[in-house]
Structure 1
Amino acid sequence: MLRSMFTAISSLNLHQTYLDVVANNLANANTIGYKASRVVFQDQFAQILSPGASPSANSGGVNPIQIGLGSQLGYISPIFTQGMLQATGRNMDLAIQGDGFLVYDSGAGLRYSREGSLSMDSDGFFVNSSTGMRIQGWMTNGGTVDPNLPPSDIQIQAGGTLARSTESAIIGGNASADTAVGDTISTTMGLYDSLGNMHTATVDFTRTGPTLGDPLAVPPVPANPDNTWSWSVTDPAGAVGSGTITFDPNGQYSASTVGTAVSIPGGPGANAVTPTFDMTSMTMLASDTSVSVTSQTGLPAGSISDVYITPKTGEVFLIYSNGMREQVAQLAVARFNNSTGLIKTGNTMFQQGLNSGEAQIGLAGSGGRGTFAAGYLEASNVDMAQEFTNMILAQRGFQASSRVITTSDEILQELVNLKR
């Protein structure tokens, strides 16, 4: 008679655990990146009263007689279904679509999470906004990342600047056809060196007189029609550069040459500026002179104004005040052969478990890893309707086991009363 009471007690304990898991799921229904847990029951060892018998020539077999001794906890494991993505409008909020985890350094080993609310601390490290753990990835080296290296902290140096040296310039406008041979027209331009220093250079266009040329000279002297101009570059620092430009009889650009490549000395510590000139939009018409530099590729030094993380791949770019952007890092994604084998450590973080397998850390979108959704956070995947159903099941299971204990007690009471 006591067997039923101990069996019911095991069920009470188990359904209490079931209710504990349901309560924890409901408590984290609004926790970013939380993964709901589920409970699996198993029966306990069964007492064999009779092993049964096998069939014989004259009789059939007999089944064993077994009495179960209750239930026990099989396992509790997280459910890694995709949670709903919630738009935040904040670029440093990240969610992962698909399999994988963001990688953090806790100071006591790596941690893995689906919660990607990031911020930058006072030292320039990218950290989890809730825990301060530093997110892991790869800093660029020569503009690229090497995911074969172990991931490391991502840090942005404060006060960084970036400039772009002028590599090309477009010179347009009209060189008046009324300009006399030997006369010069000029235009000035601002060009930038590799450190963002601006250099003001002057380009002089001189109309050259017609010559017949001398093909027998060494070297040969080509003919020079009167719609050919020479150009040269000067500046106070000693710039050099020269060439010619030729127009057709309709005053449209025909050809240009470079005699001496343009080179403008850079500022202290900067490389020389060596731009090429595009003069294809110039004309030589009988109207006023209007030659000018219409555009050039250089930019002055700009300071960091924003940080941008690309969707899908998780590349980290710095945005500068001059409009330039520079990739400085790329975030890592980890996946496991058995994610349910991970160990929860709190703060929606996991650590590698004995049965999770080794972390496979690499780039987003490769090797079965999911991709990033920048400007989104992943909501909890707790299903409220399912959890309330589980709550009812836990309650009814607890009530049924309690009734078994009550009934067993009443029967024991009857046995005690038999002596009267």
Structure 2
Amino acid sequence: MTTQTRTAAEAGRSRASGVVVLLILGALVALGPLSIDAYVPGLPRLAADLGSTASTAQLTVTACLIGLAVGQLVAGPMSDALGRRGPLLAGVTVYTAAGLVCAIAPNIALLIVFRGVQGIGGAFALVIAYACVRDQYTGNAAARYFSLLLLVTGLAPILAPLLGAQILSLSGWRAIFLALAVVSGAVLIVCVGALPESLPRQSRQPGGLRATGSVYVRLLQDRSLLGYALTNAFVFAAMFAYISGSPFVLEDIHGLSPRQYSIVFAVNALGLVAAAQASGRLVHRVDARLLLGAGVVGSAAGGVALLIVVATNAGLWPLLVGFFIVVTSVGLVLPNAAALGLENHGANAGAAAALLGFGQYMLGGLAAPLAGIHASNGALPTAIVIAGLGLTALITLATLLRSTPNRQT
């Protein structure tokens, strides 16, 4: 074999390995959203079966989101100190076991508790996957890779509600949690065999509670990271207000079936993926901050439009358009906020990614039950929460951009 042929073969193997790693990281990032998206069409039926109210049933969403938020604060520094593989495998194992318990939970209280545990396991997968990207890429290259991750993970919110609605019609909501456990178990097996360690020993940070606390204090003093994290969190929370409130708004108020709702959900997710891919293609020619700004403006405008539609009783189709704009905007915000926020924190990529994730899932968890309090007010609370979060994100980003110099990333 000639040197040229050998070099070409090695390059081909490297590209193939890179694709495999991308798919694995995408599957890991997808576990968190998959925990929500797959069963939201069944929330009304779950509430009826367990004898709970809509808001109480939505606490299963909140518990998972809070678990995803808090778990990242532990997982990030742990992976900075111990490496990525060990904590990752432990987290996916916890996620799988918790999913099995959720499938047999006899009451809403136990379901809420283990949804929180499932969220913690998913947090390890999510934050470590993001840290793995930062181990290898920075700046525009990182923004492009995060966009590719959203292409992979975008299949989850497109397919999950469709499959969830199908499982719901055949076997009920418990089977959805069983399916999630099977999927995460398969991801765990693939990770064991094919996901390499991305953080060399010489790059690892000292662990311990005191060291972890000092890392977070230092990161929170970075005005730029904090600004991007908050902007990202408000837009992400607006999307989760939609995820939590829309099943009741569209199914109970507007009469859509679970299957029709899942189609609406999939179309909106497709818009998110398309926006993320457009961002990935544009980021080498357009400042990532401009792309982020476009997404935030879209989220705010979509939220305000949604509020007007609901307040004027304009009907179902304008409501669907408002939801679509809000969700699609997230595809521009997430990859660019992540790349910009993590850019200057390679030594503590896990902890910095944890702060980004903590903000988005904690705010999402708080927004979810607020969006569901609609028993006497129709869809108005959902619209108010989404619009308020979008406008807050816009104010936060505008404040950040005024206080930091404009630079190409």
- Looking at CA atoms only, which structure, 1 or 2, has the larger radius of gyration? 1
Bigger helix share = 2
The alignment's TM-score, normalised by the length of structure 1, stands at 0.19
Bigger strand share = 1
